[in-house]
Amino acid sequence: MAHLIPPPPPLRVALADDDGLQSLRAKLWILWMTILTILVTAWFCTLGPISAVVALVVAKHILVAILVMGLGVDAKPTPPPT
């Protein structure tokens, strides 16, 4: 009588990144840089209209860069599981 081979093991599904503290540090760094950018921009706005306009333009670019970084656009691609 022929022997049957066992079925293949089930696929492993990732439910989390498992980077724990590194992910928390990155999110806290993004939060800190956002708060710092807003506070520095508010301080420059008190110095006059020209410095306020320049500060707002620069802050807009910085905050968009922080947003893009938070979305993970610059993240290194992970290799597919084998």
User: Digits of tens for pLDDT over the chain (82 positions)?
Assistant: 567 888 888 777 766 656 678 888 989 999 999 999 999 999 999 999 999 999 999 999 999 999 998 888 877 777 666 6
pLDDT of 55? 97
Any idea what the Cα angle at residue 32 is, between residues 46 and 18, rounded to 5°? 165
Alpha-helical segments (H) within 1-82 = 21-45, 49-71
pLDDT of 11? 76
pLDDT of 67? 93
- Cα-Cα-Cα-Cα torsion 61, 70, 40, 48, nearest 10 degrees, comes to 30
Q: Which of 64, 70, 61, 81 is nearest to 9 (CA)?
A: 81
pTM to 2 decimal places: 0.68
Instruction: Give the chain's largest Cα–Cα span.
Output: 92
Query: Domain spans of the chain?
Result: 22-29+37-71
